[in-house]
Amino acid sequence: MVILHLATAADWTAAVASGRYAVSTHGATLEQVGFIHCSTPDQLAEVAGAVWAGSPDELVVLELEEETLREAGLEVRYEDGGNGTPYPHLYGAIDPAWVRSVRPGAFDAAGVFRRQ
């Protein structure tokens, strides 16, 4: 199953250079939160709107394969995001080599987040 994570382009560039991505969500690290927030493809626009709306940051969408993460020893749990809906949470840092694709994303004129 494909899971997605929204990242700033700057954080992703730093992760590629260091070999480790450990940002949980907008303004919080893996160490602060305990896991990395992700979404399913169907949840992406909702999550982007709730977390990133109005942010001036250039955003990218990291596409990950759940099976690859589990095979690498990363724990993936689907947990309630506070609204009764389960969201994928990654319990550990992401090795950039595990990312299938990185695509730019932005809010359109109607305020809906779209990955390009």
- Classified as helix, coil or strand, 72 is coil
Cβ of 20: how many Cβ atoms within 10 Å?
Answer: 14
Split at pLDDT 50, 70, 90, the class of 115 is confident
Give domain status of residue 58, yes or no: yes
Q: Please give the pLDDT value at position 109.
A: 87
Give domain status of residue 18, yes or no: yes
Give domain status of residue 99, yes or no: yes
- Here the CATH number for the domain that contains residue 15 is 3.20.170.20
Give domain status of residue 6, yes or no: yes
Give domain status of residue 62, yes or no: yes
Split at pLDDT 50, 70, 90, the class of 81 is confident
Predicted TM-score (pTM) of the model is: 0.94
Give domain status of residue 114, yes or no: no
Give domain status of residue 14, yes or no: yes
Contact 9, 25 (CB under 8 A): no
* Full domain range(s) for residue 90: 2-108
* DSSP strands (E only) in the chain: 2-8, 23-25, 28-29, 36-37, 59-65, 75-80, 86-91, 99-107, 113-115
Give domain status of residue 113, yes or no: no
- Cα 54 to chain centroid distance, Å, stands at 18
Q: Which two tokens stand for residue 40?
A: 């399913």
- Cα 17 to chain centroid distance, Å, stands at 18
Domain count, the chain: 1
Q: Please give the pLDDT value at position 54.
A: 86
Give tens-digit pLDDT for 27-66.
Answer: 999 999 999 999 999 999 999 999 999 889 999 999 999 9
